[in-house]
Amino acid sequence: MDVIQYNDWKYATGKGWIPLINEAIDLVNKFNEEHPNNEYPVEIIDIKEKWGILQIDLNFYYKNLHEKIIDICLRSRNICEYCGTSENVKTTEIRGWTKTLCQKCKKEYEHQFDNFIKKINES
């Protein structure tokens, strides 16, 4: 998994979920614009992959906004974390890690993981 720098954000997820992340950022910004008298604006405090699903944490939870963020995160189950395709995507366990990947990225992830373990064992 890469740590991606994008729009001043650093988060641990693949590039395939960037459109979902942008959607969440836009939702939070729109919410704050629609509620300008809010003493404490809503902020995204963490973005990551956990158990094969996109996880977006907020500093405050308002029911309507939170439900929309949850929907975005649940949609990540059908999108390859690395390439963004929705074809042949499956959440699966690979060497103890739960990942949501298409078949092509799954093979590449397994190959990279095996090479990483091989290098560790050689040193």
Average of per-residue pLDDT across 77-104: 92
DSSP-derived 3-state class of residue 111: helix
pLDDT digits (tens, 9 = 90+) for 37-55: 777 889 888 899 999 999 9
Phi, psi of 104 (to 5 degrees): -65, -50
Tokens in use for 24?
Answer: 């969440």
Question: Which of 89, 64, 71, 59 minimizes the C-alpha distance to 24?
Answer: 71
CA distance 21 to 93: 23
At residue 61, does pLDDT exceed 70? yes
